[in-house]
Amino acid sequence: MFGGLLPSGLLVIFGLDLALAALLAIDQWAGVAWFGVFLLSVVYALEIPHWVKPIYTLSDPTGNAAINLIATGIVTAAGVIYFVHQRDRFQRRSDDLLHAILPDQIAARLKDRPGTIANDVASASVLFADVVGFTPMSAAMSPGELVRLLDELFTIFDGLVTELGLEKIKTVGDAYMVAAGVPEARPDHARAIAELALISPSSYELVKEEYVCEPRGPIEVKGKDPMRTYLLISRRDASG
């Protein structure tokens, strides 16, 4: 209606925003289709002056072209910023999940060089732990209470694992798996796992009514004063 591509002040450039909106709101094929429509509109704007006389005319389309370019640039920049923000957010979620199930060194290698990772380990130690009586206990708790309990318990374990320089391998339900000596070798891997497995006086006070515990004397704990520890021997029978 304004006489073509340039006489209209590049009005068809808003077709790029339609293509961008289709890409973000629908899918990539919709974006490609609408970009094709934009290309056709450019060709149409070039050819229409040869067929139809303009209904409206602009004395100087330069100002309109500048406004159209700026407006399109703002919309396009906003769309790209939104896309980058979403990409980074999902990348962080992916990285957090990867680091939650793999040691940091392995996760970093997997991101840099996708493929099978397998290393020979001459000697290492692994600790498995779970909650005694978890099945009947979970039956008496709501899902929310159960998740909060496990989260609190595993958070404490995670802190001890970090303090001792161990590697959490995985948690499944109430099961907790930790390794020492992988992926980085360490000669004291067995001792490091043993340090994680000690029962402290505060833990003893919590379980002494249900379990038979044997004092083992003070134990040197890294970064702390000597700590009294106990061996967990067995469950107490009904008679005590």
Q: Examine residue 209 and state whether it is found in any structural domain, yes or no.
A: yes
Q: What is the mean pLDDT of each run of 10 residues along the chain (240 residues)?
A: 81 87 87 90 87 81 86 87 88 80 74 74 83 79 84 83 83 83 83 75 71 78 71 66
In a domain, 87, yes or no: yes
Q: What is the structure's pLDDT at 224?
A: 64
Burial of 143 (0-12, 13-18, 19+ CB in 10 A): exposed
Neighbours of 213 (CB within 10 A): 18
**H/E element, 35:** helix 28-47
pLDDT score recorded for residue 47 = 86
Q: Which one, of 154, 150, 148, 161, lies nearest residue 195 by Cα?
A: 161
In a domain, 221, yes or no: yes
Number of domains in the chain: 3
Within this chain, do residues 135 and 160 fall inside the same structural domain, yes or no?
A: yes
Answer yes or no: do 161 and 215 share one domain.
Answer: no
What 3-state class would DSSP assign to 217?
strand
Residue 107 falls inside a structural domain? no
Confidence (pLDDT) at 40 = 92
The verdict on residue 138 lying in a domain is yes
CB of 169 closer than 8 Å to CB of 178: yes
Domain, as residue range, for 184: 121-197
Do 91 and 133 fall into the same domain?
no
| Global pTM value | 0.47
Predicted confidence at residue 238, as pLDDT, reads: 61
Q: Is 70 exposed, middle or buried (0-12, 13-18, 19+ CB in 10 A)?
A: exposed
Tell me, yes or no, whether 155 and 233 share the same domain.
no
* 189 and 210 housed in the same domain: no
Whether residues 23 and 97 fall in one domain: yes
CATH code of 139's domain: 3.30.70.1230
Residue 115 in any domain: the answer is no
Same domain, 19 and 90: yes
Claim to verify: residue 219 and residue 188 sit in the same structural domain: no
Alpha-helix residue ranges (DSSP H) falling in 102-199? 104-112, 134-139, 143-164, 189-197
Say what the pLDDT of residue 207 is: 67
